[in-house]
Chain A
Amino acid sequence: NAGVTQTPKFQVLKTGQSMTLQCAQDMNHNSMYWYRQDPGMGLRLIYYSASEGTTDKGEVPNGYNVSRLNKREFSLRLESAAPSQTSVYFCASSEVFSWGNQPQHFGDGTRLSIL
């Protein structure tokens, strides 16, 4: 009963380093999402993948890249980390790309600090 699994749970980087955050879901969902959450704020969408083979920008995509490796996995990459990217990152999935009648299921987050 794993649902959405994110790795790692915690990470500290130095400015300029690169990092890939991993996300996998076992619910056979078609759509996957990456969000960031800054202190005292709600989640903001970085990128999403409506279906395997497609990715699109969300509200705050600058400084990030994504890869939908297969139906199960969706990774988020920081090519050159900056202190402004210090945040908690959440991955989510849903059966289809529409919240019309499909809730998203979230992982427990990756806490990333960039010094």
Chain B
Amino acid sequence: DAKTTQPPSMDCAEGRAANLPCNHSTISGNEYVYWYRQIHSQGPQYIIHGLKNNETNEMASLIITEDRKSSTLILPHATLRDTAVYYCIVRVAGQFYFGTGTSLTVIP
């Protein structure tokens, strides 16, 4: 059974906000949610992580629901260089699960 569930693909217009959802209903109470992205099969690039509260850094914002069963990664002003596969990652029983990710295409 999947540890995380993400839509397989999404489009976003350049300059608009990209909102990428993730369901992680089996996450433990003290486990963080991480987001990474992968461009052109390069090594995954760290974006952001969080536990309970919403988080923001220079790349993105992370919104985690109060029950922690889902989260949303927000890229506030998507650019063409944000086109990538985005992975929502949780740790279950000690193992880190990447899932299949969301392929985000930013359209000019």
Contact = CB atoms under 8 A, between A and B. Distances in A.
Contacts of A59: 95
B43 A108 contact: yes
Interface residues of A, number: 23
Given A40-B100, A99-B32, A109-B41, A104 B46 contact: yes
B41 A58 contact: no
Interface residues of B, number: 21
A45 B41 contact: no
A12 B82 CA distance: 32
B41 to A, nearest CB: 7
A42 B97 contact: yes
Main secondary structure of the interface of A (DSSP, over half): loop
A43 interface: yes
B98 A43 contact: yes
Interface string A74-104: 0000000000000010101000000111011
Contacts of B44: 43, 90, 106
A6 to B, nearest CB: 8
A59 B93 CA distance: 11
Contacts of A44: 98
Nearest to A3: B43
A21 interface: no
Interface of A: 4, 37, 40-45, 58-59, 88, 90, 92, 99-101, 103-109
Closest 5 CB pairs of A and B: A42-B98, A106-B43, A103-B46, A43-B98, A106-B44
